[in-house]
Amino acid sequence: MNLISKYTSIFSPISLKQMDGVKLMNRTDTKFTFSISVLSELFQKIGPFYDVLEIDNKRIHEYKSLYFDTKNRKFYYDHHNQRVNRHKVRFREYVDSGLTFLEVKRKNNKGKTIKKRLKVKDITTSIKSDQQDYINKIIGQKLDIFPVQWINFSRITLVHKVLKERLTLDVNLNFNDEKSSGDLSKIIIAEVKQERMSRSSDFIRIAKDMRIYPMRISKYCFSAIELDGSLKNNRFKEKNIFLNKLKQK
């Protein structure tokens, strides 16, 4: 992690308050997955175009998330079966900001990600009645959900100097449930977040030059597969093979 922190020194800092204009709660996401071995070269190339979020002199920030699902894993299988208007529900603690939210993410039939969140005191393993009402209203039905797994990672957040664009890079990803644990620590998951899809992104342009291509990956789904071998995952097979190759680099 110290080496990754050193890589971020090439960026100029931006504060949390300065990021207010790029919250992008209703947005289009483009994800990329690549080996940590190319991170230094990538940062050198995108450095002139982005600033880095800095909080209390830290540029790599810790996130802790507890994901919820139904007994029959509705949220997982909706994603696996490529359903539109699908959801994910989690508590997420933004450790360095001292903030925790109940978050409901929706992917709609136009490919947009819409995130709604409710500020809470801390992460809990049960859903309170007012929180359940909040979830029901967003999803449009009442679902019995319970905690299924933790996903923790560190994030570098970059903000484009000119465009309304945010770029996150998740590192040191690890996950666990009550029975097992795993990690994707050799893999970077990057996400370009824009109001609407635009190839004018400098990251997308430079990534293409480096032969880093878009690949959608759900941290929740792929960690779930590693933690629970009974989950049907045939539609994720090619991506699983790709991830396993990245782990070897």
pLDDT digits over 182-241, tens only? 999 999 999 998 876 666 799 999 999 999 999 988 999 999 999 999 999 999 999 999
Extract the tokens encoding 53: 């979020």
Nearest residue to 224 (alpha-carbon basis) of 152, 176, 153 = 176
Please answer whether residues 39 and 190 qualify as being in contact, where contact means their C-beta atoms are separated by less than 8 angstroms.
Answer: no
Asked whether residue 180 carries a pLDDT value surpassing 90, the answer given is yes
Above pLDDT 70, what percent of the chain?
A: 94
Q: What is the pLDDT of residues 7-35, one digit of tens each?
A: 999 999 998 888 776 665 556 788 999 99
Rounded alpha-carbon distances, angstroms, from residue 93 to 123, 131, 205: 7, 16, 32
The ranges assigned to domains in the chain are 2-247
Extract the tokens encoding 37: 């071995």
Q: Rounded to 5 degrees, what are φ and ψ at 128?
A: -75, 160
Asked whether residue 172 carries a pLDDT value surpassing 90, the answer given is yes
Residues 61-65 have a mean pLDDT of 97
Is the pTM higher than 0.85? yes
Measure the CA dihedral 52/56/60/62, to 10°.
-130
CATH number listed for the domain at residues 2-247: 2.40.320.10
Extract the tokens encoding 196: 């609407």
Give the integer Cα–Cα distance in Å for 67 and 90.
4
